[in-house]
Structure 1
Amino acid sequence: MACEGNGMSDARIGEALIKEVIVEELRDMSSKDSQLLTSLAVEPETEQKTEQEQKIVNQLGKMVRIIGDRFGEDKEFQDAIDGVACSSSSKWDCFKQVANKVFEQGITWERIAVLFYVAGKLAVKMVEAHLPQSVRDILKWTVDFFRSNLLGWIGDHGGWINSFSELAVASVQSVSSLSSHSYGLVLIFVTGLALGSVITWRLTTRL
């Protein structure tokens, strides 16, 4: 059963998660103006999230960034982002090409996480290029792609609450090169996230 059946909205969670990832990537910038740019670049909420939705967004955001960081050193991954940022043709068309490339072998929770991470990194590229106004475009493109191509799949696969187990495994795989001590800490971390989401879901279904 998708999140809507538990009083939560898959659409709101997805859109809030996209924004969460973009904002967090911008906050990591060294620029003193990054907070100002973030507030100017990202539009305010149009629909208020519930407390349960916000908890899920926060937990998912952490896992998205862990998974995405695995691709940070991948040249093909970085070239694709640079291609959108530097293209003189329609950036929307370039973005769609990258998004379609991410899902060319089908939709999975991990690939959804990767797309959101791409949006965050692309937002950083735009700010670095002194085009902070373009961050709103990136947010809009990602939300539009999410609504048109991913939201139905998410609903058919039980809603965001069902993403935690797969994303937790992907998060652990993303840090497999770390020391055994660090690996164990991350395993405990993502397992706790998954357990917390299940508890939240069970409490919500009883409301």
Structure 2
Amino acid sequence: MKTEKSEALMASDYEFSKNLVLRSVKDQIQRAGTCAPSLPEPQLMSAEREQLLDQVANFTRDIGDIIDRDIKFNNMVDGFARVADTQSFQSLVEKVFVDCITWGKIITLICVIGKTAAKILANSAPDIVFWTLDYFRDYLQNWICNRGGWVNSIYSLARSSFELDFSSSSSPISLSSGVIFLGGALLGGLIVWRLKRGA
């Protein structure tokens, strides 16, 4: 039986996930210089959560730029953009989460959806966003909440992405990117500390 507190956490983390997906899609569409489709507006959150959202959104963009250099990733995005229907979406998420859910795979899904939305016709992009949000609600939110939610898991998220960046020989990362990453991780720790202190 779910308690009111766990339901509130689930709803709060779903809003965070929704805002992160929407921001990523809008960012990729703007970066591609294409027409922005009509998408839902993100819900307002507290200043601390907005700051964390900014950090995770920037982090997602940086990871997307790194994995964008991967030919296999680009082929997957191109293939999905050509067909973009519910069946291909289901096939995509099954490939992304083939053996387990991880923070890195969640970020990869967000990157794929953002980059796909930037490549397809504007009237199809909202469908992909809604499929993604439904998938988050139905399959990923329990996993996210069981790990303490976005706010409490920023360290794990940063660590998994750090390992992705530095363990991949095909995507070298510069010292400045490492410094930016560590600065972001420290900022995330400060935000989590402030949020826990205020709770």
State the TM-score, normalizing by the size of structure 2. 0.83
List alignment gaps of at least 5 residues for structure 2: none
- Given that 2:81 and 2:119 are in contact with CA atoms closer than 8 Å, whether structure 1 keeps it comes out as yes
Aligned amino acid, residue 158 of structure 1: G
Aligned amino acid, residue 129 of structure 2: L
- Given that 2:152 and 2:192 are in contact with CA atoms closer than 8 Å, whether structure 1 keeps it comes out as no
CA displacement at 1:172 relative to structure 2: 6.4
List alignment gaps of at least 5 residues for structure 1: none
Q: Greater CA deviation, 133-142 or 65-74?
A: 65-74
State the TM-score, normalizing by the size of structure 1. 0.80
Q: Does 1:194 align with 2:185?
A: yes
- Given that 1:42 and 1:136 are in contact with CA atoms closer than 8 Å, whether structure 2 keeps it comes out as yes
Alignment match, 1:113: 107
**Percent of residue pairs bearing the same amino acid type:** 28
- CA gap of 1:155–1:78, structure 2 versus 1, over 3 A, is same
1:159 to 145, 149, 153: 149
CA displacement at 1:183 relative to structure 2: 2.6
Aligned amino acid, residue 88 of structure 2: C
CA displacement at 1:149 relative to structure 2: 0.8
Report matched runs for 1:1-207 at 5 Å.
9-29=12-32, 31=33, 34=34, 37-38=35-36, 40-45=37-42, 47-87=43-83, 91-126=85-120, 131-169=121-159, 170-171=161-162, 173-174=164-165, 177-178=171-172, 183-207=174-198
In structure 2, how many angstroms separate the alpha carbons of the residues matched to 1:163 and 1:119? 22
In structure 2, how many angstroms separate the alpha carbons of the residues matched to 1:189 and 1:54? 19
- Given that 1:20 and 1:57 are in contact with CA atoms closer than 8 Å, whether structure 2 keeps it comes out as no
CA displacement at 1:83 relative to structure 2: 2.3
In structure 2, how many angstroms separate the alpha carbons of the residues matched to 1:96 and 1:68? 21
Aligned amino acid, residue 19 of structure 1: L
CA displacement at 1:55 relative to structure 2: 1.0
Question: Alignment partner of 1:206: what SS?
Answer: helix
- CA gap of 1:24–1:115, structure 2 versus 1, over 3 A, is same
Question: Alignment partner of 1:41: what SS?
Answer: coil
In structure 1, how many angstroms separate the alpha carbons of the residues matched to 2:196 and 2:38? 36
CA displacement at 1:164 relative to structure 2: 2.6
- Given that 2:18 and 2:133 are in contact with CA atoms closer than 8 Å, whether structure 1 keeps it comes out as yes
